[in-house]
Amino acid sequence: MDDVHYIESGGRERRTRSEGQRERQRPDDRQQSRRDEPDEHEQKKPGRQVPRWLLIGGGMLAALMLLGGGGWYWWEARQWESTDDAFVEAHVTRLAPQVGGRVARLLVDDNQRVEAGQLLAEIDPRDLDVALETARARLNSAIAQAAQAEADVTLRQASVGQADANVLVAEADLENAETTFRRFRSVDPRAVTQQQRDDAEAGSRGARARLEAMRQAAAAARAQVQSAEAQRQAAAAARREAEASVHKAELQRSYANITAPVAGRVTNRSVEVGNMVTAGQALFAIVEPDVWVTANLKETQLLLVRAGQPVEIKVDAYSDPVLRGRVDSIQRGTGARFSVLPAQNATGNYVKVTQRVPVKIRIEDDRARDMPLSPGLSVVPSIRVRGE
């Protein structure tokens, strides 16, 4: 090949030499590339390959497990009705004084346990004591007036008896006078004088006039008895009014002592010793220990909900345990129906909204006694509506 290179022209010779040099370099490049490329035998070793049937079987098994888990979840979920719009509720009694005044004593503190009838606070009673003494004095005066009216009635009744007796005396005198007058008229005019006849006639007329006067006096005595009876009734009414005033003053005095109407814990205390309070002003509240759950279920969830169904209750504040309960009742009316401003769907444009109905759930788990369940805590109740 070198001889050929010398025969050809200079330019061709140079090209041939370059090609020869490249040919000499190619074996080295090929060897380097062979070293860089991975060995096919190393890539395809029979021990590392995964059989296709195993991949297919694993995929089918995973699909079956997924379908089974989904089916089980669907079947289990349809047994329950649950909501997170649920809260713990309890009876809360708000206490307010029935009389105004300055708070003289405060005997309870926040969250303190109290019993029914326990004294909680006392309002300064001095003004109420004065009012009570005034009412009692008026009662004593009314009692004296009633006694005087009763005595007056007795006196007037005695006057009626005396007047009736005078009437009887007058009737007897009249009968005697008339008898005498008839006797003088029946005898011979010559046997008696004219003066005697005139005296007998005058006596008869006088007796008749005295009888009429006695009858009028008896009628007046009876009228006085009726007047005295009316005064006695008025005095008795005044006495009853005074007694009522005393009873009212005693009640007002008793209202100075604020006692617990129920047993529970004192919450929301907003009063201190020395504060001036008015009647009806809220001072604190008492939360009773008996609690329940109010679950606001959607109206579409109520199809199978019935009273008496078991409930599992999870309290957000406590991860464990899950409490047991039972459906107590379903409110006859949605929550929106009893709101402060109920919806007026007959006016304006109407947009249908799924309503919620409160369901009362009783907690029947003794473990709840060890959990301070307070009104307002969020819970998640699950009602078992199938497969009980």
- Residue 264 has a pLDDT of 95
Residues 6+ apart with CB under 8 A from 212: none
Q: At what angle do helices 126-186 and 194-254 cross, to 10 degrees?
A: 170
Q: How far is CA 14 from CA 6, 17, 20, 22, 26, in A?
A: 10, 5, 10, 13, 19
The larger pLDDT score, comparing residue 348 to residue 114, is at: 114
Does residue 288 surpass a pLDDT of 80?
yes
Give the model's confidence band at 76: pLDDT under 50 very low, under 70 low, under 90 confident, else very high: low
- Residue 177 has a pLDDT of 74
Pairing of strands 101-106, 276-277: antiparallel
- CATH 1.10.287.620 positions along the chain are 126-253
Q: Which fold does the domain 76-90+289-388 belong to in CATH? A: Elongation Factor Tu (Ef-tu); domain 3 (2.40.30)
Q: Which fold does the domain 126-253 belong to in CATH? A: Helix Hairpins (1.10.287)
- Percentage above 90 pLDDT, the chain: 47
Residues 6+ apart with CB under 8 A from 326: 308, 309, 310, 311, 361, 362, 364
Which residue(s) pair with 82 in the sheet? 382
Residues 6+ apart with CB under 8 A from 178: 204, 207
Average pLDDT, the chain: 82
Q: What is the mean pLDDT of residues 74-103?
A: 89
Closest CA to 317 of 110, 87, 83: 87
- pLDDT tens by residue, 241-268: 999 999 999 999 999 999 999 999 999 9
Q: What is the mean pLDDT of residues 72-87?
A: 81
Class of domain 97-122+256-282 (CATH, top level): mainly beta
Please, are residues 139 and 246 in contact by the beta-carbon 8 Å criterion?
A: yes
- Residue 14 has a pLDDT of 45
Q: Say how many C-beta atoms besides its own lie within 10 A of residue 107's C-beta.
A: 13
- pLDDT tens by residue, 15-32: 444 455 555 555 555 555
Give the model's confidence band at 42: pLDDT under 50 very low, under 70 low, under 90 confident, else very high: very low
Please, are residues 356 and 298 in contact by the beta-carbon 8 Å criterion?
A: yes
- Percentage above 70 pLDDT, the chain: 79
Give the model's confidence band at 8: pLDDT under 50 very low, under 70 low, under 90 confident, else very high: very low
Cα–Cα distance measured from residue 88 to residue 316, given in angstroms and rounded to the nearest whole number? 11
Does residue 131 surpass a pLDDT of 90?
yes
Q: What is the mean pLDDT of residues 90-97?
A: 95
Closest CA to 335 of 81, 77, 78, 89: 89
Does residue 2 surpass a pLDDT of 50?
no
- pLDDT tens by residue, 303-358: 999 999 999 999 999 888 899 999 999 999 998 888 888 877 777 778 888 999 99
- Residue 116 has a pLDDT of 95
- Residue 187 has a pLDDT of 61
- pLDDT tens by residue, 227-240: 888 888 899 999 99
Q: What is the mean pLDDT of residues 363-375?
A: 90
Task: Please state whether the predicted TM-score (pTM) of the whole model is above 0.85.
Answer: no
- CATH 2.40.30.170 positions along the chain are 76-90+289-388
